[in-house]
Amino acid sequence: MVKQQEKRGIVTRKRAAELMQNIRRENVKRHNEYAARSKLRESQVRAQRVATMQAELDRLHHAAVRGTGLDQIRINRMNALKEVIGKP
């Protein structure tokens, strides 16, 4: 069994243009896939940050409601978290 070798031959301008078109198409496809993965990763990290901030805000709110009170630093942190999360 003998493998058939692909004929290389002379690359014409048309064939070279087709090859370059394929390379560009694959590069664009690879870039789009990478961009989609990056966007997904960023959105997951952002959602995790918001959840963490929400949990911290809830803890501060419960501390204020329980009557233990909050000092000025914690009140400022609570207001900053409300701004970031977007709660009134």
Structural domains in the chain (count): 1
Residue-wise pLDDT for 17-49, tens only, equals 999 999 999 999 999 999 999 999 999 999 999
In a domain, 3, yes or no: no
Q: What does the pLDDT read at residue 31?
A: 97
The number of CA neighbours under 13 Å toward the Cβ of 4 is 2
Long-range CB contacts (< 8 A, 24+ apart) of 67-71?
Answer: none
In a domain, 5, yes or no: no
Tell whether the torsion through CA atoms of 65, 70, 75 and 77 is positive or negative.
negative
AA identity, residue 62 = H
- Confidence class of residue 88 from pLDDT cuts 50, 70 and 90? low
- Confidence class of residue 66 from pLDDT cuts 50, 70 and 90? confident
In a domain, 4, yes or no: no
AA identity, residue 22 = N
Q: What does the pLDDT read at residue 61?
A: 87
pTM across the whole model? 0.62
- The answer to whether 79 touches 64, Cβ cutoff 8 Å, is no
In a domain, 61, yes or no: yes
In a domain, 6, yes or no: no
Structural domain harbouring 60: 13-85
